[in-house]
Amino acid sequence: QTVVTQEPSFSVSPGGTVTLTCGLSSGSVSTSYYPSWYQQTPGQAPRTLIYTTNTRSSGVPDRFSGSILGNKAALTITGAQAEDESDYYCVLYMGGGIWVFGGGTKVTVL
């Protein structure tokens, strides 16, 4: 069974930069997995940040960027702000109409 891996937590200082990654238990993530990223605050529905690796969703600040770094997909927050404190999830398309979410990364801004 394919497992999508994410760091459980990250801490970043206000104005700092943090890079979250999204990997596979076996193999490398490429653009062919159409990685996308979602932000969720407690009690709220997820919000779409990035799709097809590096395309920002409408209204998403440009401090959020997506990429492939090595063998993983990555979400970078450049110039973190207090309101960026959230859970972040990646999801990979496995083909055949199947998607798998990572376990999520809790980002603390302090």
Partner 1 sequence: QVQLVESGGGVVQPGGSLRLSCAASGFTFSSYNMHWVRQAPGKGLEWVAFIQYDGNNKQYAESVKGQFTVTRDNSKNTLYLQMNSLRPEDTAVYYCAKDQGGGSCSFDYWGQGTLVTVSS
Least separation, in Å, of the C-beta of 35 and partner 1? 9
Least separation, in Å, of the C-beta of 86 and partner 1? 13
Rounded Cα gap, residues 3 and 26, in angstroms? 8
Least separation, in Å, of the C-beta of 46 and partner 1? 5
- The residue among 21 and 36 lying less far from partner 1, judged by its C-beta, is 36
Instruction: Calculate the alpha carbon distances from 15 to 41, 75, 77, 105 in Å.
Output: 20, 16, 9, 19
Instruction: Calculate the alpha carbon distances from 78 to 4, 5, 11, 39, 72 in Å.
Output: 24, 22, 13, 15, 18
- The residue among 17 and 88 lying less far from partner 1, judged by its C-beta, is 88
Chain contacts with partner 1 (rule: CB under 8 A): 1, 34, 36, 38, 40, 45-48, 51-52, 55, 57, 87, 89, 91, 93, 96-104
- The residue among 19 and 51 lying less far from partner 1, judged by its C-beta, is 51
Least separation, in Å, of the C-beta of 15 and partner 1? 28
- The residue among 55 and 71 lying less far from partner 1, judged by its C-beta, is 55
Do residues 91 and 85 make contact, with C-beta atoms less than 8 angstroms apart?
A: no
Rounded Cα gap, residues 56 and 50, in angstroms? 5
Identify the three-state secondary structure at position 68: strand
